Amino acid sequence: MIMRVLKAALLVGMATVVVVAPAHAQDQTGEGGPRVNVQPYIEVSQVLSAELSPGDDVVTFTQVAAGVDLNAQGRNSGASVSVRYERNISYGDDEVDSDTISGVARGYVSVVPQALTLEAGALAARTRVDAGGGVSSNPQVAEDAESQIYSVYAGPSLATRVGAVDVTGVARVGYNRFETDNAIVDADGNPVDVFDDSVTYTGQVRAGTQPGDGLPVGIGVTAGAFQEDISNLDQRVRDLYVRGDVTVPLTENFAVVGGVGYEDVEISSRDALRDADGNPVVDGSGRFVTDDSAPRQIAFDVDGLIWDVGVVWNPSSRTSLAATVGRRYDSTTYYGSFSYVPNERSALNISAYDGITGFGGVLNNTLSGLSSDFDAIRNPVTGDFGGLVTGEDGSSVVGTLGSVRSAAFRGRGVNASYQRRIGQATAAIAVGYDEREFIAAAGTVLAAADGITDESYYINAALTRPIGRSASFQTNAYVNWFESGGTNGDVTAVGASAAYNRSITNKLSARAAIAVDHFDSEFTAEDFAFATALLGLRYDF
């Protein structure tokens, strides 16, 4: 019942953007006029999937799908949506029968132009999880490992000016869920308490001046709060802070920045329900059952002075750099970003991050950081959205999983993306590293996870190219590595796909695609390799 409601909510949310955003965009008459592209479609395909190792099974099934791709950009609104419903119909093999919703949406509407904006986003993606780590792969590889993630958020943002003071603010509420039909266990057969669902709350307000607005330096004051309520064992991550900062320009394009403030961070949870022998009780999916009568236990409690210093470099409108080092969470922290767009044909983005959150907070943060002007890259065989998007600002990845443990963690990492148009072709690549050090209260069932560090590495790449006026070619590739800090074992997934599309009429097109996927896990005794081929028709309304 919960899943039906969640899927319905995601579809309604994405459909609302599909319906409303074009109307708002068409109402705008900015320079060049609005840009609106709405493309609903249906597809019918025949799929053959052959197991290359360790066995040699061959499965055929029919794939029926319906979806819509939308990009609507106006002067005071914008949205990009790619949502798809897919049904696989088997011939006597019930394991292949499945229905899936996948997609990504991000949009905004300016309620008060250049002042008050409402924004929202949603994500639905299919993946596979083994030993507590999520990686991209063909879902036909071991259906019992298939899982689904959902994330949605919404809220207003403020940007205005009061005299010489710039005032900005943001408030967001998000919901996140990880759905799996089977219990996930480690290499020893013990259940892994994977994330279930959470609600996130984010708020921040800042007032500040720019250098030269009354003072030779810029000054500002920021106050903010973040909270994530995780259903597993009633975990709660709470972060409250206030800080002041100063910007000292050294040249026209280079400045030194620094800040100091106070922060209070707390992570707490309850213990699991115990049976008569004192063993923790787990539900059918392997998650611990919360003892609501148990007292709340503190896992992390740090408050006091925070500070950071860094540099900001903006030599042109096409290049920007921000790098900072400081003290936070009672330890040294580093973060920053670099953006380089030398021309309209290429773009490079790099970012480093450090923060304390839960699994859902990561999903909401990456989703809210996504541009509202993008094209989603999908697997041409499965139709799945793998997280890679391309757009005017370059390529980026949203919804990467990594570890799916339920415990809160300190997450650190770096990601980079590069996009380039080569003739008529568009190439995009995204690489990243993510480290999660888990935090859990002593004396609770999660205590064993405290201090464990899981690491993930990923590479996603795509190339698309039109062939004449009526055909196109697309190829995708991915590599995912997951290294467990516990006893769960490491996981590697590698795959590539290629597709050819050709128009038959203005509305009808034929497509052919092939894919090869390889899965290597210390969790399983043997590796898995599959080859998949597809022939189908697509009708664009």
Work out the average pLDDT over 196-201: 95
Whole-angstrom Cα distance, residue 73 to residue 62? 36
Whole-angstrom Cα distance, residue 307 to residue 259? 5
pLDDT digits (tens, 9 = 90+) for 472-485: 999 999 998 888 87
pLDDT digits (tens, 9 = 90+) for 351-363: 999 999 999 999 9
Listing DSSP states for 224-292 in one string gives EEEEEEETGGGEEEEEEEEEEEEEEESSSSEEEEEEEEEEEEEEEE-PBPB-TTSPBPB-TTSPBPB-T
Backbone angles phi, psi at 364, to 5 degrees: -65, -40
| 3-state class percentages of the chain: helix first, strand second, coil last, to nearest 5 | 10, 65, 25
- Mean pLDDT, the chain, whole residue set: 86
**pLDDT the model gives residue 23:** 45
- Let me know: does 154 contact 145? Beta carbons within 8 Å: no
pLDDT digits (tens, 9 = 90+) for 422-439: 988 999 999 999 999 999
Q: Which of 1-15, 81-95, 118-132, 288-302 has the highest mean pLDDT?
A: 288-302
For residue 60, the cross-strand partners are 48
Percent of all residues in the chain with a pLDDT value above 70, rounded to a whole number: 85
Give whole-number Cα distances, 289 to 3, 132, 270, 292, in Å: 19, 18, 10, 9
Whole-angstrom Cα distance, residue 120 to residue 368? 8
pLDDT exceeds cutoff 60 at 242: yes
Strands, E, within 54-90: which ranges? 58-73, 77-90
pLDDT exceeds cutoff 50 at 226: yes
Work out the average pLDDT over 17-23: 47
H/E element, 364: helix 359-368
- Let me know: does 58 contact 48? Beta carbons within 8 Å: yes
Residue 404 is classified by DSSP as -
**pLDDT the model gives residue 12:** 46
Within 10 angstroms of residue 468's Cβ, the number of other Cβ atoms is: 9
- Let me know: does 87 contact 65? Beta carbons within 8 Å: yes
For residue 156, the cross-strand partners are 118
Residue in 531, 508, 506, 507 with CA at minimum distance from that of residue 518 = 531
**pLDDT the model gives residue 91:** 77
Looking up tokens 């995009």 gives 428
Work out the average pLDDT over 12-39: 56
Residue in 485, 474, 475, 481 with CA at minimum distance from that of residue 518 = 481
**pLDDT the model gives residue 193:** 80
pLDDT exceeds cutoff 50 at 25: no
- Let me know: does 81 contact 18? Beta carbons within 8 Å: yes
Within 10 angstroms of residue 392's Cβ, the number of other Cβ atoms is: 12
- Let me know: does 89 contact 44? Beta carbons within 8 Å: no
Residue in 295, 307, 287, 301 with CA at minimum distance from that of residue 245 = 307
Work out the average pLDDT over 529-541: 93
Listing DSSP states for 128-191 in one string gives EEETTEEE---TTS-GGGEEEEEEEEEEEEEEEEETTEEEEEEEEEEEEEEEESS--B-TTSPB
Whole-angstrom Cα distance, residue 24 to residue 15? 14
Whole-angstrom Cα distance, residue 113 to residue 75? 9
Please give the model's pTM, rounded to 2 decimal places. 0.87
Backbone angles phi, psi at 84, to 5 degrees: -145, 135
Give whole-number Cα distances, 470 to 280, 376, 423, 537, in Å: 61, 21, 17, 14
Whole-angstrom Cα distance, residue 14 to residue 133? 28
Contacts of 362 (CB under 8 A, 6+ apart): 402, 411
Whole-angstrom Cα distance, residue 501 to residue 507? 13
Residue in 357, 370, 99 with CA at minimum distance from that of residue 236 = 357
- Let me know: does 104 contact 398? Beta carbons within 8 Å: yes
For residue 163, the cross-strand partners are none
**pLDDT the model gives residue 477:** 92
Out of 14-28, 301-315, 425-439, least confident range: 14-28
Helices (H) then strands (E): counts for the chain: 2, 27
Better-scored residue on pLDDT, 419 or 180: 419
pLDDT exceeds cutoff 80 at 489: no
Percent of all residues in the chain with a pLDDT value above 90, rounded to a whole number: 58
- Let me know: does 380 contact 499? Beta carbons within 8 Å: yes
pLDDT digits (tens, 9 = 90+) for 70-119: 999 988 899 999 999 999 888 766 567 778 889 999 999 999 888 899 99
Residue in 295, 296, 301, 271 with CA at minimum distance from that of residue 193 = 271
Domain ranges of the chain: 1-43+68-116, 125-139+149-540
* 92, amino acid identity: G
Give whole-number Cα distances, 419 to 152, 186, 526, in Å: 27, 38, 36
